[in-house]
Amino acid sequence: MNINALKTIYPFLDVSSIGTSVLGRPLRVIKFGTGTKEVLYCGSTHANEWITTPLLMRFLENISKSYVNNLNIFGVNARELFNNVSLYIVPMVNPDGVDLVTGFFSENSWAYTNAKRIADNFPDIPFPNGWKANIEGIDLNLQFPAGWDQAKEIKYAQGFTKPAPRDFVGYGPLTAPESVALYNFTLRHNFSLMITYHTQGRVIYYQYQDQTPPNSKENCWRIC
Ligand SMILES: [Zn+2]
């Protein structure tokens, strides 16, 4: 179900935008709940991991349905959740990249030809199926200031020194509008928990260097 349909059926959902993509697409955020505890879930930071978007949309639909019917979701009452938590969901951080991978752009569009030109420098990466980056060839997940220099060192050593279908950290941190939007959004809030959905198969990453919060693994298993 798309965002407009969800909002029509569940008018208590609050829909707004945290910014825009390179191609001017709004980066939608949907808020469920009015509580003081703030939580953020994100999907499709990586273009070819777009299945995380329908996953989050389905979750939103389920939790909204539970709210209307005063039911539990994963053992917790949905109305209680609504009152205690503000759950923000950004289902698609990288809409331009997802449009490329899912075949939305015609082959003579700027978006497609530009991406193809970038991908031609990396013939080992299938096109467009191996595309993870934003439409300008920047990996949005590697754009954040936290650990950027280290990521740059690792990825440059692997040959990702210019725009690429994946793994190019950018010429500096926070140059891609999608990453900037997410970064600014997190600064405006006080999130107790942030989950960013990725998928490479049956694996869940919960660690971040030596700064992993103590209950990350348990939270991860509980939610995922
Ligand atoms: Zn990913």
Which whole number is the average pLDDT over 7-36?
A: 98
Cα 177 to Cα 184: distance, rounded to the nearest angstrom: 10
Asked whether residue 125 carries a pLDDT value surpassing 90, the answer given is yes
Banded pLDDT at 184 (limits 50, 70, 90) = very high
Distance (angstroms) between ligand 1 centre and the Cα of 30 equals: 21
Distance (angstroms) between ligand 1 centre and the Cα of 52 equals: 10
Question: Which two three-digit tokens encode residue 63?
Answer: 């939790």
Which whole number is the average pLDDT over 6-19?
A: 97
Strand, coil or helix: what is 192? strand
Cis, peptide link before residue 128, omega less than 30° from 0: yes
Cα 75 to Cα 79: distance, rounded to the nearest angstrom: 12
Which whole number is the average pLDDT over 119-132?
A: 97
Q: Which residue has the higher pLDDT, 211 or 171?
A: 171
Distance (angstroms) between ligand 1 centre and the Cα of 204 equals: 11
Asked whether residue 38 carries a pLDDT value surpassing 70, the answer given is yes
Is 153 in contact with 124 (CB distance < 8 Å)?
no
Distance (angstroms) between ligand 1 centre and the Cα of 68 equals: 33
Distance (angstroms) between ligand 1 centre and the Cα of 113 equals: 23
Distance (angstroms) between ligand 1 centre and the Cα of 123 equals: 20
**Percentage of residues of the chain with pLDDT beyond 70:** 96
Banded pLDDT at 219 (limits 50, 70, 90) = low
What residues have a C-beta under 5 A from ligand 1, the ion? Answer: 46, 49, 198
Residue 189 makes CB contacts below 8 A (sequence gap 6+) with 38, 40, 88
Cα 40 to Cα 6: distance, rounded to the nearest angstrom: 19
pLDDT of 220:
64
